[in-house]
Chains A and B, each alone.
Chain A
Amino acid sequence: MISNLDYATLQQLWWVICALIGALFLFLNFVQGGQTLLWQMAKTDTESALIVNSLGRKWELTFTTLVLFGGALFASFPKFYATSFGGAYWVWVLILFTFIIQAVSYEYRSKPSNVWGGKTYELFMFINGSVGVLLIGAAVGTFYTGSSFSLNDMNQVTWQYTIGGVNLRGLEAAFSLFNLSLGLFLVFNARVLGALYLLNNIDFSTVSELEVRLRKAVWTNFLCALPFLLFVVVSILLRKGFGVDADGVVSMVSFKYFFNLIALPHLLLMLLGGIGLVIWGVLAGAFKNSDKGIWFAGFGTVLVGLTVLCLPAFNGTAFYPSTFDLQSSLTIYNASSSQYTLSIMTYVALAIPFVVGYIAYLWKLMDAKKLTVEEALDEEAY
């Protein structure tokens, strides 16, 4: 069956798969959000231990999803991988650094003789959860705002943006109001998800004040996220987009993303449904004493993420546009791997449900009982 799929279908399928992995990563950013809540929420060492150990059982899933997201993009859209990573160098290097320092922090934070002290590792977690997520948002924002690059005959990238003769290599993305707003929305949304996850995962029987603080944090962080979300959504609907005609010529099109939503109503439904689910999750977590908010808000985040990543890629749109040379812009049709490679990878992707299945099984198995203070203070705990 897969061998019968035409090239364009495979390209679209792989963009959807990559977008889905990216959207799942945004959901799993509850780990990053939880990390930024640590100092604010935990008033005692016991509460700190609970938060860190609760997040510590999941950090690797988020990390691995990021690695898979990178790997999937490399494999299916290598021109994007080469152009964006090589071009917007500093954005990706800084994101990378925040994840390097996160990866050791859980394991080393409470170990004796960890040299730099537990607070340093907690600071690493905070940087990962704030700067890392902000920059990821800025990088995703360039799908809408574009980047200043050109490609030559051999598809080698030259980054063109300079200030005072200095080439910022992608850092300029973080200074765009739209990109920054998207980044800040993701930071606050991750904090909402982090608080909801902790409410779901921790046994609060001996730390009831922590639960109160977390429920409050769900609401306040949602309120902080809201203006940025509104700004991003309105900007997307009103801004000019990078349209591609039947001959592959790229031009600026007014209200391009608005028309994309109209032309692709399932994306509109996903966006509205996703926002609705996030709000449902927030209300359940903040006001209804529920511990199930993470599932609604998490699923909602996946739907919103999927929409944000698919909207600039379909209906004749360049997903990685160049503002310097419109014709260097990348579409899912000119940036993808060959038909043969995409077919092979599609066979491999048939295993995804199996992988998701055993992850869900282990998650359920390990979280069947909520995390207790005793477990969090165990000698081998984080």
Chain B
Amino acid sequence: MIDVDPSLVNWSRAMFAFTAMYHWIFVPLTLGLSFLCAFFETIYLKTGDEQWKTITRFWMTLFGINFAIGVATGIILEFEFGTNWSNYSWMVGDIFGAPLAIEGLFAFFMEASFFAVMFFGWDKVSKRFHCFSTWMVAIGSNLSAVWILVANGWMQNPVGMAFNPEQARFEMESFAEVVFNPVAISKMTHTSSSGFVMASAFVLTISCWYLIKRRHVEMAKRSIVVASVFGLVASMFVGFTGDEAAYEVAQKQPMKLAAMEGLYIGERGAGLVGMGIINDAKAPGDVQDAFLYEVKIPGMLSLLANREFGSFVPGIDDLVWGNEKENIMGVNTMMEKGRHALSDLAAFKEAKRAGQEDAAAAALERFNVNQKYMGYGYLDTPEEAVPPVAIVFNSFHIMAILGSLFPVIFGAFLFFTVKGNITEKRWLLPVGLFTALLALLAQQAGWVTAEVGRQPWAIQGLMPVKIATTNLSTTSVQITFAMFAVVFAMLLFAEISIMLKQISIGPEGH
């Protein structure tokens, strides 16, 4: 086994987090705005009203500006799996690669091919075919999200595979199990619909700015109606899928759930923390209070986690050191089993190399007993299995609180716009102005919860991030990080500037 420098692991993690979060500024907007453009254009096709065409082309321009940078940042993640996480790529390529390849073949080509028609085909194809192309771009964009989220879901809940000790990698045994992994499905539905909320909020924000400035009022009101309907439905769906996603976390990643709720000591009838200030100095096993201040809803966490009020929800301490009464094996025990697995794997490899088939078979038999704990064998201390609790707790609660606001905001805008007096509601328009920012914050907080919450694992329970990284010099990663930072800053600056200019020009320019 290669000794890995901890600073290399941290820099590699920082770079992946940085590039992924940057990518995720643009992707949700692409997912939702593509559908909104399709809605606008479909209305134009049905009504023949030229103003809907103007509206469609205006939002399409903003979509295009955003789309380009989303594409540019997307390829980075695919490359990074190989360049910075090569051990991971080898260990899981047999499973993880297939969804990526399918994404490329089906989704990206659909997007790329119809994108040209969508932007340059207005006078080259029929109205109907143009509208069809816009729908294809929307479907292609969202299909690409499906496959990458299937891959991500597998990392959170590895199913449908087995470890091959000869090859030292995980191999797929059931494609159906990988694709219909319940974690993947809840993640996919939750994430995609949150993208719809993001885009609806974006349209709402810009439309509100026009209403405040009393410019393009008719276009803004029409846009608000469509975006509010889409946003309202999507934000309610996000709530429903969020509940399902949290249930899956409780079942498959109990440590993550404990961190999301700042729950150190497990209990029956556990309460849900509505809001609270977490004690950052608290460590697993100590006697400090987990919270400086908290508001709890009694019994609710047990209900959400297990669909049963009085059920037991394990806390961090239960998971780290075990809880015999509740039949929970602790990380400390799993580490011991994991170390046996790793040493038996090494013995198997050694015997194979020496041509001692009997010894290899015996080592393999011993390895198989503890194989599923293999990942824990890489941990140095049981506490290493605990993610950064404060970050996970805060990001989860930011996401959840903001998420609960969106149906109210979209509902209010829809109500007053349909009623015809939205322009008189001067108190509401500034709320709309900040909705996109709030949605972006919720998006980022959601991913922080999902990804920081599963630390230290690259693949839940099987492969910690410190084993997944490429054996590079830290300096190489630092230089790459700096290069990304410079390029990203340049591109973001340009994107915002271009976007603001286009918004300032308004739909008449289209």
Residues of A within 8 A of B (CB): 57-58, 60-61, 63-64, 66-68, 70-72, 74-76, 78-79, 81-87, 89-90, 92-93, 96-97, 99-104, 106-108, 111-116, 152-159, 167, 169, 337-338, 340-341, 344-345, 348-349, 351-352, 355, 358-359, 362, 365-366, 368-369, 375, 379-381
The answer to whether B105 has its CB under 8 Å from any CB of chain A is yes
B79–A61 CB distance below 8 A: no
A82–B82 CB distance below 8 A: yes
Give the shortest distance, in Å, between B433 (CB) and chain A (any CB).
21
A337–B109 CB distance below 8 A: no
Q: A74-B78, A158-B2 are in contact. List 11 more A-B contacts (CB 8 A).
A: A61-B112, A71-B105, A75-B100, A81-B89, A85-B89, A103-B69, A113-B500, A154-B168, A157-B86, A341-B98, A365-B124
Identify which of B234-242, B289-297, B421-429, B472-480 touches chain A. B472-480
Give the shortest distance, in Å, between B236 (CB) and chain A (any CB).
34
B168–A67 CB distance below 8 A: no
Contacts of B87 in A (CB 8 A): 82, 86, 154, 156
Give the shortest distance, in Å, between A117 (CB) and chain B (any CB).
10
Residue of A102, A106, A116, A338 near B490 (CB, 8 A) is: A116
Residues of B within 8 A of A (CB): 1-2, 57, 61, 64-65, 67-69, 71-76, 78-79, 81-87, 89-90, 92-98, 100-106, 108-109, 111-117, 119-121, 124-125, 164, 167-169, 171-173, 175, 346, 349, 353, 470-473, 476, 480, 483, 487, 490-491, 493-495, 497-498, 500-502, 505, 509-510
Contacts of B116 in A (CB 8 A): 57-58, 60, 362, 366
Choose among B68, B83, B172, B500 the residue with the greatest number of A CB atoms under 10 Å from its CB.
B83
B71–A366 CB distance below 8 A: no
Contacts of A380 in B (CB 8 A): 57, 61, 119, 510
B89–A351 CB distance below 8 A: no
A67–B108 CB distance below 8 A: yes
A79–B90 CB distance below 8 A: yes
Closest to A67 in B: B104
B83–A85 CB distance below 8 A: yes
Contact A86 to B89, CB < 8 A, known contacts A70-B78, A355-B106? yes
Closest to A113 in B: B501
Contacts of A115 in B (CB 8 A): 490, 493-494, 497-498
Query: In the docked arrangement, what's the CA distance between A100 and B23, Å?
Result: 12
A100–B113 CB distance below 8 A: no
Query: In the docked arrangement, what's the CA distance between A297 and B117, Å?
Result: 26
Which 5 A-B residue pairings sit nearest by Cβ, starting from the closest?
A: A78-B93, A86-B86, A85-B82, A75-B97, A103-B72
B172–A338 CB distance below 8 A: yes
Closest to A352 in B: B105
A153–B168 CB distance below 8 A: yes
Residue of B57, B71, B164, B510 near A63 (CB, 8 A) is: B71
Contacts of B92 in A (CB 8 A): 78
B90–A82 CB distance below 8 A: yes
Contacts of B85 in A (CB 8 A): 86
Residue of B75, B115, B175 near A100 (CB, 8 A) is: B75
A379–B509 CB distance below 8 A: yes
Residue of B2, B109, B172, B497 near A113 (CB, 8 A) is: B497
Residue of A78, A348, A379 near B94 (CB, 8 A) is: A78
Contacts of A60 in B (CB 8 A): 71, 111-112, 115-116
Closest to B78 in A: A70
Query: In the docked arrangement, what's the CA distance between A113 and B83, Å?
Result: 35
Give the shortest distance, in Å, between B165 (CB) and chain A (any CB).
10
Contacts of A70 in B (CB 8 A): 75, 78-79, 82, 104
14 contacts between A and B (CB under 8 A): A58-B116, A60-B116, A70-B82, A75-B101, A78-B90, A82-B90, A85-B86, A89-B476, A93-B79, A108-B494, A112-B501, A114-B494, A154-B1, A154-B87
Closest to A336 in B: B94
Give the shortest distance, in Å, between B81 (CB) and chain A (any CB).
7
Contacts of A341 in B (CB 8 A): 94-95, 97-98, 171-172
A82–B86 CB distance below 8 A: yes
B81–A74 CB distance below 8 A: yes
Closest to B88 in A: A82
B167–A155 CB distance below 8 A: yes
Contacts of A100 in B (CB 8 A): 72-73, 75-76, 487
Give the shortest distance, in Å, between B399 (CB) and chain A (any CB).
29
Query: In the docked arrangement, what's the CA distance between A72 and B476, Å?
Result: 27
Contacts of A85 in B (CB 8 A): 79, 81-83, 86, 89
A344–B175 CB distance below 8 A: yes
Contacts of A114 in B (CB 8 A): 494, 497-498
Contacts of A72 in B (CB 8 A): 101, 104
Contacts of B476 in A (CB 8 A): 89-90, 169
Query: In the docked arrangement, what's the CA distance between A86 and B468, Å?
Result: 11
Query: In the docked arrangement, what's the CA distance between A63 and B491, Å?
Result: 18
Residue of A57, A63, A111, A153 near B75 (CB, 8 A) is: A63
Give the shortest distance, in Å, between B437 (CB) and chain A (any CB).
21
Contacts of A348 in B (CB 8 A): 98, 101-102, 105
Closest to A347 in B: B175
Contact A57 to B98, CB < 8 A, known contacts A96-B76, A116-B490, A337-B93? no
Residue of B57, B84, B120 near A57 (CB, 8 A) is: B120
Contacts of A67 in B (CB 8 A): 74-75, 78, 104, 108
Give the shortest distance, in Å, between A60 (CB) and chain B (any CB).
4
B483–A366 CB distance below 8 A: no
Contacts of B172 in A (CB 8 A): 338, 340-341, 344
Give the shortest distance, in Å, between A81 (CB) and chain B (any CB).
5
Contacts of A153 in B (CB 8 A): 168, 346, 349, 353
Give the shortest distance, in Å, between A131 (CB) and chain B (any CB).
14
Query: In the docked arrangement, what's the CA distance between A120 and B397, Å?
Result: 42
Contact A93 to B494, CB < 8 A, known contacts A155-B168, A379-B509? no
A106–B81 CB distance below 8 A: no
Contacts of A154 in B (CB 8 A): 1, 87, 168
Closest to B67 in A: A107
B494–A104 CB distance below 8 A: yes
B349–A337 CB distance below 8 A: no
B117–A71 CB distance below 8 A: no
A89–B1 CB distance below 8 A: no
Contacts of A338 in B (CB 8 A): 94, 164, 171-172
Query: In the docked arrangement, what's the CA distance between A355 and B109, Å?
Result: 7
B65–A107 CB distance below 8 A: yes
Give the shortest distance, in Å, between A361 (CB) and chain B (any CB).
9
Residue of A78, A99, A101, A358 near B113 (CB, 8 A) is: A358
Query: In the docked arrangement, what's the CA distance between A379 and B2, Å?
Result: 56
Contacts of B169 in A (CB 8 A): 78, 155
Contacts of B90 in A (CB 8 A): 78-79, 81-83, 155-156
Query: In the docked arrangement, what's the CA distance between A79 and B94, Å?
Result: 9
B68–A64 CB distance below 8 A: no
Residue of A71, A83, A90, A108 near B68 (CB, 8 A) is: A108
Residue of A78, A104, A381 near B491 (CB, 8 A) is: A104
Give the shortest distance, in Å, between A65 (CB) and chain B (any CB).
8
Query: In the docked arrangement, what's the CA distance between A66 and B120, Å?
Result: 23
B168–A359 CB distance below 8 A: no
A112–B498 CB distance below 8 A: yes
Query: In the docked arrangement, what's the CA distance between A81 and B83, Å?
Result: 9
A345–B101 CB distance below 8 A: yes
Choose among B86, B171, B502 the residue with the greatest number of A CB atoms under 10 Å from its CB.
B86
B471–A156 CB distance below 8 A: yes
A81–B124 CB distance below 8 A: no
Give the shortest distance, in Å, between A308 (CB) and chain B (any CB).
21
Give the shortest distance, in Å, between B504 (CB) and chain A (any CB).
9
Closest to A94 in B: B483
B83–A86 CB distance below 8 A: yes
Contact A93 to B171, CB < 8 A, known contacts A78-B89, A156-B471? no
A71–B78 CB distance below 8 A: yes
Contacts of B111 in A (CB 8 A): 60, 64
B75–A66 CB distance below 8 A: yes
Give the shortest distance, in Å, between A90 (CB) and chain B (any CB).
7
